[in-house]
Amino acid sequence: MIWLRGRTDRIQPALDSIRHTFSQYQRRADTQETIQLQKTNWKMVGNLTSLIIFSILLLATLIGVPTVLTKVKKDKTCSEITHWTTISTSSVQPATMIPFISQNMNPLCTATASWNSTGITVAGLPNGSSSTALNGLKYPHDIYVYDDGTILIADSGNNRIIRWNHNATEGINIGGTGAYGSWVNLLADPIALAVQGNALYVSDVENYRIQMFPLNSNLSSPDATTIIGHYGQGSSLMQINQVTNLLVPVSNPSLLYMADSKNHRILSWNSQFNYTSVVAGQTGISGSNSTLLNNPLGIALDERTFSLYIADTFNNRIQKYDMNTISAGTTVAGGAGQLNNPSAVQLDPSGTNMFIADTLNHRILLWLNGAIKGHTIAGNGNAGTSATQLNNPSQIRLDSNYNLYVVDTNNSRIQRFDLISNGC
Ligand SMILES: *[C@@H]1O[C@H](CO)[C@@H](O)[C@H](O)[C@H]1NC(C)=O
Ligand SMILES: *[C@@H]1O[C@H](CO)[C@@H](O)[C@H](O)[C@H]1NC(C)=O
Ligand SMILES: *[C@@H]1O[C@H](CO)[C@@H](O)[C@H](O)[C@H]1NC(C)=O
Ligand SMILES: *[C@@H]1O[C@H](CO)[C@@H](O)[C@H](O)[C@H]1NC(C)=O
Ligand SMILES: *[C@@H]1O[C@H](CO)[C@@H](O)[C@H](O)[C@H]1NC(C)=O
Ligand SMILES: *[C@@H]1O[C@H](CO)[C@@H](O)[C@H](O)[C@H]1NC(C)=O
Ligand SMILES: *[C@@H]1O[C@H](CO)[C@@H](O)[C@H](O)[C@H]1NC(C)=O
């Protein structure tokens, strides 16, 4: 809602009303590429004059004429709007509107594919030691992998974001200085990142905010803009409490999903409307029934069906939610002591088979759609620093050749397990 910026004091009643009524439609709106708002139900108790004045107010806010705003400031009719509705410009069925956008078109027959169980350290020190030098990392938590093998790393313990070019022996600082802090160019334990064009979103966890860094800056510690978290730690819709994973849908880049772990909920933020809503879990309530989550750390989205997969960490399960209807989650992995604090889930190109970072079991599982258990594709179950071991793996990403990148957090390194056979 860029057009409201700086004038919210004058139009706060209208804003509140829009917020309130818009919330009913937000969930559907989130899955639609284009929406329009249309007034359908006026409950204007005032006379014709107030109606005209209100219309001018609406027009003025849209086109930004401050003088008109000043004139109608005394009028209270803004709060009378009670019913707004969303209209899709094309289809009413969001799932069919969204084209499948795969990051690559190489075939993968996941059930029979195989990966090398010996990992290669692509960033950080291979021996598992942490370091503050540029050839090392310290408790990294997230990565973004480009098609050319360049990776961006949330180097959490070093309070910085690192770009590590393919085959490079050290990284380049692109966000944060390394110092712990809350100034515009500083970070305090950055643990999640997402890329949207030239914008890099970072969950700056101990500052309880989401920062946006420019990716095209040539400064080593550019200033960031805060997009979420202006109001500190908390559980209102304008606050977050430890966002551990960020996700921008390829098919709808104006959305940002957040695993707001300590609030036991998943949020979606619509940048077009600067509007946040809860899409899974109940704010502040942890539990294990089908509508609750307990410290959800990771998320993945199947964009063809708009199904959100959630690593429901303390419940040791993966929950799947349909974002078109959003009612309750179904458990698609876990149970019978099979997972121990899973903290990330990613999907194969079919959008149904899962790669799970089974964090406290120090392994990566491939869990096929409908299976009752997963099978290990990286890590041997014991924490260690050898090339076949992991220690608290916290994130997984695939590159365009389906090589598996694992954020090996407690070994302060990024491991790559290459695809041996695509199984087709
Ligand atoms: C697996 O990776 C290791 C280490 O890079 C390599 O020596 C080995 O040849 C690879 N195995 C296969 C089957 O590609
Ligand atoms: C790990 O490797 C680094 C760089 O070679 C070295 O400085 C450090 O002492 C090593 N750590 C251990 C535990 O061997
Ligand atoms: C990285 O190294 C591999 C193996 O040494 C090589 O095949 C590849 O071309 C290199 N890539 C880049 C971008 O330097
Ligand atoms: C990058 O740095 C160079 C040299 O310092 C400067 O000329 C250029 O304008 C900078 N580019 C951007 C996008 O800031
Ligand atoms: C978005 O909304 C928040 C909370 O209402 C507000 O503090 C912030 O300034 C808004 N951002 C923009 C760009 O309008
Ligand atoms: C789960 O528990 C919460 C809190 O007790 C409750 O509000 C919700 O209705 C329950 N959901 C189901 C599906 O039972
Ligand atoms: C991993 O590192 C964290 C943070 O230092 C620590 O609390 C935890 O005990 C470590 N876990 C293992 C298995 O080493």
Task: List, for residues 117-142, the tens digit of each pLDDT value.
Answer: 999 999 999 999 999 999 999 999 99
pLDDT: which is higher, 175 or 46: 175
**Mean pLDDT (the chain, rounded):** 81
User: Which stretches of 205-305 are assigned E, i.e. beta strand?
Assistant: 209-214, 225-228, 243-247, 255-260, 265-270, 275-281, 298-302
Q: Is the pLDDT of residue 16 over 80?
A: no
CB of residue 376 inside a 6 A radius of ligand 2: no
- Centre of ligand 5 to C-alpha 188, Å, is 22
- Centre of ligand 3 to C-alpha 121, Å, is 14
Domain boundaries, the chain: 2-97, 114-421
The C-alpha atoms of residue 147 and residue 402 are separated, in whole angstroms, by 10
Domain boundaries 114-421, corresponding CATH code: 2.120.10.30
**Ligand 7 atom at minimum distance from 383 CA:** 13
**Ligand 1 atom at minimum distance from 387 CA:** 4
Q: How confident is the model at residue 4 (pLDDT cuts 50, 70, 90)?
A: very low
The C-alpha atoms of residue 276 and residue 375 are separated, in whole angstroms, by 37
- Can you tell me the mean pLDDT for 198-205? 97
Helix (H) or strand (E) holding 318: strand 317-322
Ligand with the closest atom to the CA of 198: 4
- Can you tell me the mean pLDDT for 226-255? 95
Nearest CA to ligand 5 atom 11: 274
Contact 309, 300 (CB under 8 A): yes
Contact 190, 161 (CB under 8 A): yes
- Centre of ligand 1 to C-alpha 333, Å, is 30
C-alpha separations of 352 from 309, 333, 347 in Å: 10, 11, 6
What secondary structure does DSSP assign to 87-102, as a single string? EESS-S-HHHHS----
- Centre of ligand 3 to C-alpha 113, Å, is 23
pLDDT in tens, 377-393: 999 999 999 999 999 99
Contact 368, 355 (CB under 8 A): no
Residues with CB under 6 A from ligand 1: 116, 118, 120, 420
- Can you tell me the mean pLDDT for 302-324? 96
Q: Is 229 left (phi over 0), alpha (psi -120 to 50) or beta?
A: left
The C-alpha atoms of residue 138 and residue 206 are separated, in whole angstroms, by 16
Closest CA to 199 of 175, 182, 179, 180: 175
Q: Is the pLDDT of residue 179 over 50?
A: yes
Give the largest Cα separation in the chain, rounded. Answer: 78
Q: How confident is the model at residue 218 (pLDDT cuts 50, 70, 90)?
A: confident
Contact 22, 84 (CB under 8 A): yes
CB of residue 233 inside a 6 A radius of ligand 6: no
Q: What's the pLDDT at 104? A: 55
- Centre of ligand 5 to C-alpha 192, Å, is 21
**Ligand 3 atom at minimum distance from 167 CA:** 1
349 contacts: CB under 8 Å, gap ≥ 6: 102, 104, 108, 110
- Can you tell me the mean pLDDT for 393-412? 96
Ligand with the closest atom to the CA of 220: 4
